[in-house]
Amino acid sequence: MMGFVLRSQLCWRAFVSRSDVTKQYYRSQMPAVSQVFSEASLMAVDLEMTGLDTHSDQILSIGLIPIEKGLLQLNRAEQRLIQINGSVGHSATIHGIVDHQLQAGVSLDSAIEWFMERTRGKLLVAHHSPLDLGFLQVAIKQVTGESIKLLAIDTLAIERKRLLRKQDVLKEGTLRLGACRARYGLPVYAAHNALVDALACGELLLAQASAMGDTQKLTIGELLSVK
């Protein structure tokens, strides 16, 4: 049922879209929302930004790792550094990206074109997806001139739902990516690198899906419905 609802939403968005880019993007995702997890084509994504405000801060890097039929495709992992207006400022202390590194980066237009091409036909996977999707949606509108509504499986939301079945209150930090991974016995990775965090998020989703039971029956619609 959820797959049908999501397909209908994507169909309507494609119909009202004025941009061929967004129209084709929506249409490419329609088959994916009805798949079972074990057959799905997904893309783990993470961004590094100069801050947390989608309208005043800028994207510095995007990391992408495909997940095909329940397997991470590490040989197809990619990252783009993005040129920005001004300096990274004090945010460099968090993500480690400094101004001179961005000189070799690509333009935002080029990065968004690459992102749209690589993720066409796939569903996104992100940890705390509203943040990353918010930045991507603002950037896509800036580049294409049209708003887009991105869909993503949110590993933070999945973990929150699982934990709240066992307890009423969650301690601060419980839902951070590293803390979530630790509960599944996954290794510790250095945080705040777009490609490493995309990998960490992808691995977490695979562990979560396995813990849910039969991945031959678990549907993408079920995962997308978790908020």
**pLDDT, tens digit (0-9, with 9 covering 90-100), for 156-187:** 999 999 999 888 788 999 999 999 999 999 99
Say how far apart CA 83 and CA 64 lie, in whole Å: 18
pLDDT at 25 over 90: yes
pLDDT, residue 43, reads 98
pLDDT in tens, 118-135: 999 999 999 999 999 999
In the block, tokens 């129209």 appear at 23
103, 117 Cβ separation under 8 angstroms: no
Q: Provide the whole-model pTM.
A: 0.94
Give residue 1's pLDDT band: very low, low, confident or very high (50, 70, 90).
low
* Cα 125 to Cα 49, 166, 167, 170, distances in angstroms: 18, 25, 26, 23
Indicate the helix (H) or strand (E) that contains 61. strand 59-68
Q: Strands (DSSP E) along 93-151, which ranges?
A: 123-126
207, 187 Cβ separation under 8 angstroms: no
pLDDT, residue 217, reads 87
pLDDT, residue 227, reads 77
pLDDT at 192 over 90: no
* Cα 101 to Cα 85, 86, 117, 181, distances in angstroms: 14, 13, 24, 30
Give residue 215's pLDDT band: very low, low, confident or very high (50, 70, 90).
confident
The DSSP symbol for 82 reads: B
pLDDT in tens, 75-102: 999 999 999 999 998 898 888 888 888 9
Q: Strands (DSSP E) along the chain, which ranges?
A: 41-49, 59-68, 71-72, 78-81, 123-126, 152-154
- Read off φ and ψ for residue 213, nearest 5 degrees: 125, -135
pLDDT, residue 94, reads 85
Say how far apart CA 130 and CA 125 lie, in whole Å: 11
Taking residues 26-50, what's their average pLDDT? Answer: 94
